[in-house]
Amino acid sequence: MQPAGLAAARLTALTHAMQGYVERGEVAGVVSLVWRRGEIGYFEPLGWRDQEAGLPMERDTLFRIASMTKPVTSAAILMLIEEDRLALDTPVSLWLPELGALRVLRDPSGPLDETDPLKAPLTVLDLLTHRAGFAYHFTASGPMADAYAQAFNGIDARGDGSAWLARIAGLPLMFQPGTRWHYGIATDVLGVLIERVTGMPLGDFFRTRIFEPLGMRDTAFSIPDAQLGRLATAYGVEPGTQRLVVEDHPSASRWSRTDRFQSGGGGLVSTAQDYLQFAQLLLGRGRVGDTRLLSHRSVDLMRSNFLTRDQRRVPAFGHVLWAGQGFGLGVSVVDDPAQQLPLGYRSMGSFGWPGAFGTSWFADPVEEMIGLMLIQRRGLEPFPMAVDFERRVYDAIDI
């Protein structure tokens, strides 16, 4: 019997497709994993974790998972809600008084000093659903884009979340809280909120409450010197030539610094095996094996769409993102699979959220399946590798 009910010949086709991206020089290497119905049916490292040094990808290679950090932070917030330390409708200024006097731009692309007061307080739910009015420098325009770039400038050298929040508090919001989905630093703000509520550094809370209970030994905000050799080199894409250029090398990686900003929105490193454990937690509605970290209800809410019909009509990242999927508490969730095509093949209720270095994952409750595809390639243009991976994984389902 083929493991996990996946057809061997079609998994071979998946391997050939992934290898093609390596051979064409589009990525240095990739680690792909498919778990289905309680077992790993595919776990394949291909190519190089360091192309220049000829070091191969391994199953335990470390990856910068960027925004795949966001669902972890969201789960941590839900744990605090279950403990009655927060609520979805809690005004965040109760814990983050720096955000008590926020203003909102009259024109999202306009001058930073032309603002209106908040019409409603900023809540935990606004932050979880990216309807807080915050942005990133690459999702903002006009003076706001420059202001966000400056707010993050050098932040890795300053590990103090409160100092970072003070810089953010000086910027206006782009939109009134709750009114529209706009991708930004909301989950980083949640990370600082977790620190305030618990009195612990974010990394310590993650480690003691999530990573250690799940056996996630390699997931953290920084990497010990002895383990740096396992970190894959991160590459950018040179405009014009499309050639890969080194962006972050293990020998001088900022992920080696223990004092770097613990970004709840994008700071973790992890492995395929580790993140599988976290994905299983969400697919298992809060439980992995005998370990329960969240209630069914919390995870069901996390995997429910919170966007209104009008909010789903607003383009995101330059296209209509929400035709076949909505957004929950830190993850996107498919609620109309036919509207996803040709961009994806996930079943009703499937969920996930990718990262800026090309890492991606999904969990499918219909097929009882999790797919992970980890690369280290940052590029602004659409890159089809994750969609290609998902299509071939679904094609391989045999029983």
What are the residue numbers of the active site?
67
Q: How large is the greatest C-alpha to C-alpha distance in the chain, in angstroms?
A: 66
Q: Which two tokens stand for residue 247?
A: 């962006």
The answer to whether the Cα torsion of 182, 187, 192, 193 is positive or negative is: positive
CA distance 150 to 375: 28
Residue 140 in tokens: 């903002």
Residues 230/62, Cβ–Cβ less than 8 Å: yes
Which of 367, 329, 371, 372 lies closest to 37, judged by CA? 367
CB atoms within 10 A of CB 120: 11
Distance CA 321, CA 340 (A): 9
Tracing tokens 């009703």 back to the chain, one arrives at: 348
The torsion angle over the Cα atoms of residues 267, 271, 277 and 283, rounded to 10 degrees, is: 70
Cβ(234)–Cβ(248) under 8 Å? Answer: yes
DSSP string, 313-348: HS-BTTB---SSEEE-SSSEEES-GGGGTTS--PPT
DSSP 176: -
Helix boundaries (H) for the chain: 8-23, 69-82, 124-128, 143-152, 161-169, 186-198, 202-206, 212-214, 272-283, 296-302, 309-313, 385-395
Omega before residue 342 within 30° of 0, cis: yes
Neighbours of 290 (CB within 10 A): 5
Length of the chain: 399
